[in-house]
Amino acid sequence: MTLRPALLGMALLAGVLAPTMLYPVLLMKVLCFAIFASAFNLLLGYVGLLSFGHAAFFGGAAYVTGYLMRDAGWGPLSGVLAGTLSATVLGWCVGKLAIRRQGIYFAMITLALAQMLYFICLELPQTGGEDGLQGIPRGTLAGLDLSNDLTLYYVILGASVLVFALLHRTIHSPFGRVLTAIRENEPRAISLGYDVARYKLLAFVLSATLSGLAGALKVLVFKFATLTDAHWHMSGDVVLMTILGGMGTVPGPMVGAALIVSLEDQLADKVGSLVTVILGGVFVLCVLLFRRGIVGEMTGFWQRLLGQRNSSRI
């Protein structure tokens, strides 16, 4: 356990120094998706609920933030907060409906409701149809000019650290323990007197809210909100990131997000539409060969190694 503060410090230092070596926009994209995947992981990894509609919260918040900042003249802070709040409200509505069913029905319901939001984004007069919202200004935050990539990077890094701390705190709180209990054995959690539906809904809303924050921050980075953000491919991407990195672990989704974002970045101009094929292949491999994900498998390996050493000592 003495390892942990050192590792955390190193990760933080790497985050602060990263833009000296890597392109800040790519790093910001990684951070946004790391928030998104971590929020998604709260639901899949700790409550055992597979949502196939998280693009709705990501994309919905992106549209709200984009619209408010470009057409209503809101600043970045109020814009991002309003976008996030819209995801909270949407998350409450979707969650309320979806938690009525379990397992694969839950996945299908969230997917269908997200597709509904996709069509709404396509057809509303405010959302720019097929083009989406382009040319959204970044604005200034407390005197800081966010049009500078490096400034924005540190703002988003700060936000990410806060989100990761919040998620870590949630997962290791009594509330988080109840969530895990529901994942492991729902009837038992019910018989212990926990109002399972309320816990599920609260976790869903929290997950949706943070997914919305990720979408809203993504608007600041790229200055646009498009249908891609709300498409079901996006929901699939976040599932893949979480599973590849390792669901049910705190660093897993971050690792997965970093890998998938850089993979897409490297491949996009080389193989064109075959990116989808490669992502699908990674999906299949993950499900067939290492269901615990990279972080999960590594932890398992590490524990086996320690276990062997301990047993040989005895």
Partner 1 sequence: MTEVFGVPLLALLGQLLLGLVNGSFYALLSLGLAIIFGMLNIINFAHGAFYMMGAFAAWMLLAYFDVSYFSAMILAPVLVGTVGILMERLLLKRLHRLDPLYGLLLTFGLALILEGLFLNQFGVSGETYDVPDALGGAIDLGFMGVPKYRLWVVGVSTLVCLATWLVIEKTRLGSYLRAATENPQLTQAFGINVPLLVMLTYGFGVGLAALAGVMAAPIFQVSPLMGSNLIIVVFAVVVIGGMGSILGAILSGLALGVVEGLTKVYYPEASATVVFVIMAIVLILRPAGLFGKES
Contacting positions for partner 1 (CB under 8 A): 50, 97, 100-101, 103-105, 107-109, 111-113, 115-116, 119-120, 122-123, 232, 236, 239, 243, 272-277, 279-284, 286-288, 291
Nearer to partner 1, 147 or 276 (CB): 276
User: 210: Cβ–Cβ under 8 A, 6 or more apart, which residues?
Assistant: 35, 36, 38, 39, 42, 163, 166, 167
Question: At its nearest, how many Å lie between partner 1 and the CB of residue 291?
Answer: 7
Question: At its nearest, how many Å lie between partner 1 and the CB of residue 281?
Answer: 6
Q: CA Rg, the chain, in Å?
A: 20
Q: How many CB atoms lie within 10 A of CB 98?
A: 25
Q: How many CB atoms lie within 10 A of CB 260?
A: 22
Backbone angles phi, psi at 68, to 5 degrees: -65, -40
Nearer to partner 1, 168 or 231 (CB): 231
Nearer to partner 1, 43 or 155 (CB): 43
Question: At its nearest, how many Å lie between partner 1 and the CB of residue 303?
Answer: 22
Question: At its nearest, how many Å lie between partner 1 and the CB of residue 149?
Answer: 32
Q: By C-alpha distance, which of 54, 41, 47 is closest to 249?
A: 41
Q: Are strands 140-141 and 144-145 parallel, antiparallel or unpaired?
A: antiparallel
Nearer to partner 1, 25 or 122 (CB): 122
Question: At its nearest, how many Å lie between partner 1 and the CB of residue 107?
Answer: 6
Rounded-to-integer distance, Cα 305 and Cα 161, Å: 31
Rounded-to-integer distance, Cα 69 and Cα 76, Å: 7
Nearer to partner 1, 19 or 293 (CB): 293
